[in-house]
Structure 1
Amino acid sequence: MGHLEGKVAAISGTANGQGRVALERFRAEGAIVVGGDIRSDDDTPYLDVTDEASVRDWIETAVQRHGRIDILYANAGAVRFGAVDTQSFEDWRFTLAAELDSVFLCAKYAWPHLKKTRGTIITVGSTAGLTGSVTNDRVAHSASKGGVIAATRQLAAEGARHGITANCISPGMIVTPGSQENLLAPDHPMRDIASAIPLGRLGTAEDVVNVAVFLASDAAAYVTGANVVVDGGWSIVLPG
């Protein structure tokens, strides 16, 4: 029997990367998974996490098909990097919508169903929400991920009276198709960042999802409002 046997999990952003690994792992742990992504396929219905109607329909369809939601894993996000003096307002708004509005919308529409099941919310922050960076211009990304961490704490506070727990996972440098295209590209100043990570390697999607499985399981029933940093110790040393 898996750690999530019989639970219904709604996971956003399951087309690839951490979301795809989460979908497969949660199913392996016994969960019924309803995925969603703007890049839909046979295993992942269409979902635009920045569009209120799309999120509402995704949640309601999950409930209609499976009767309930026990776990919301608000994984989906997208980012446009840039410094404060060069980033366009359009890119700022795009990043905050994709990384912060998305969490609000998913939590808002899952909330009444999670109240019925005394369920759990998992969000995805980042070490970018904890510290600044001199090697990556990311003002919008830092703002949005800092907001996700703060919002998760408030969700935990508001959810406690209903038996809802809410926790955040903040990854450091994780190898994904997205990070390989930008932060780990050969011409990016962060390409050799593994040498600054105490554990001596980049993270994997599996490293992140391992924590998500725990937070989604009954073993974490007394854990709420936490921000679990998954970065190999990167954020606790200098250079950060």
Structure 2
Amino acid sequence: MKNDGSFSSASVAGRLAGKVAVVTGAGGGQGQAAALLFAQAGATVVACEINPKGVEATKKIVSEQSLNVEIAQVNAADEAEVKAWIDEAAARHGAIDILYNNAGHTHFAPFGEMSLEQWRETMRYELDIVFIPTRAVWSHLVTRGGGSIINIASVSGMRGSEFLGAAAHATGKSGIIGFTRQLALEGAPHWIRANSISPGPIVTPVTQALLETSKEFNSCFNGWPMLARTGRTADVAFAGLYLASDESSFVTGANLTVDGGWSAKGGFTPH
């Protein structure tokens, strides 16, 4: 697929000045990109990651770039861990303004081969992992008088995929989209905005590994977008920055696709 260099980029200084942002799953890929971009935009970022190697990787970048990002090893699907982590962050910084729910994990397998254990674990790490941080931060946003919740869903939650094995993933991400709309409704009286982002074919460490090992996935992944390139983590992070900022103060209950046009068409696009 053609790469013409037209990846998302812009000057971000000051767009989140004075805000405190909580980011889950920030040890690499899309979560790390969002945490770094939010800090570059002036936010104080409190991030977590379950993998200790991911924690260290993000710490290294933060140190090199002198960014205001705190990252801790926290399992975002563990209610007690998350509540303690978020309550401490709110006490330390005085408030929380933004929650960016990026953390997640899924099992891919053809439906006839998927076990109940794989299904249940996917539901935990697609749905519980969004519910738990949101529940923990909710009272802090109410006290603050509003804020922005951004949940990472997927185009897989909106349509079927030619690449087999996404039944559990599609169910979880579809659930996130529905959950987000209900949050928007219940949060509106408190000026809490809730939106989801549905990425399409984004190159991350996980998808890169599949691109290198599966010809079938490579064909689907590169043929999905209308635009003549696949996505990068920055494309998703910039969408998150908009939803986190006051620029989107009249946007709630939306599901923003970042997919190069994939969800607006059918079939493959030859490039």
Query: Shorter chain as normaliser: what TM range?
Result: over 0.9
Residues 169 and 230, structure 1, Cα contact 8 Å, conserved in 2: yes
Q: How does 1:59-74 map to 2 (within 5 A)?
A: 59-74=86-101
Deviates more, 1:134-143 or 1:29-38: 134-143
Q: How does 1:85-234 map to 2 (within 5 A)?
A: 85-117=112-144, 118-182=146-210, 184-192=211-219, 193-234=221-262
Q: How far did residue 234 of structure 1 move?
A: 0.9
Q: Which residue of 2 aligns with 1:28?
A: 40
Q: How far did residue 169 of structure 1 move?
A: 0.3
Q: Distance in 1 between matches of 2:160 and 2:208?
A: 21
Q: How far did residue 66 of structure 1 move?
A: 0.7
Residues 18 and 176, structure 1, Cα contact 8 Å, conserved in 2: yes
Residues 15 and 39, structure 1, Cα contact 8 Å, conserved in 2: yes
Structure 1 unaligned regions, length at least 5: none
Q: Which residue of 1 aligns with 2:106?
A: 79
Q: How far did residue 55 of structure 1 move?
A: 1.2
Structure 2 unaligned regions, length at least 5: 1-12, 60-70
Q: Distance in 1 between matches of 2:132 and 2:44?
A: 22
Deviates more, 1:185-194 or 1:112-121: 185-194
1:115 alignment partner AA: V
How many pairs are equivalent?
A: 239
Residues 136 and 190, structure 1, Cα contact 8 Å, conserved in 2: no
2:120 alignment partner AA: R
Residues 195 and 201, structure 1, Cα contact 8 Å, conserved in 2: no
2:112 is paired with a residue whose SS is coil
Deviation per CA, 1:116-158, whole angstroms, max 9, x where unpaired?
2211100000000001123231110000000000000000000
Q: Distance in 1 between matches of 2:89 and 2:249?
A: 23
Residues 197 and 232, structure 1, Cα contact 8 Å, conserved in 2: yes
Q: How far did residue 60 of structure 1 move?
A: 1.0
Change beyond 3 A, Cα 1:180–1:58:
same
Q: State, as a whole percentage, how many aligned pairs show the same letter.
A: 43
Q: Distance in 2 between matches of 1:26 and 1:95?
A: 28
Structure with greater helix share of residues: 2
Q: Which residue of 1 aligns with 2:8?
A: none
Deviation per CA, 1:45-104, whole angstroms, max 9, x where unpaired?
011111111111121121121111000001111111012211111111111111111111
2:75 alignment partner AA: D
Deviates more, 1:185-194 or 1:111-120: 185-194
Q: How far did residue 9 of structure 1 move?
A: 0.3
Runs (4 or more) in structure 1 with deviation over 6 Å come to none
Q: TM-score, normalised by structure 2?
A: 0.85
Q: How far did residue 188 of structure 1 move?
A: 4.1
Residues 86 and 136, structure 2, Cα contact 8 Å, conserved in 1: yes
Which of 7, 16, 31 is the matching residue for 2:28?
16
Over the aligned positions, Cα root-mean-square deviation in angstroms equals 1.3
Residues 23 and 35, structure 2, Cα contact 8 Å, conserved in 1: yes
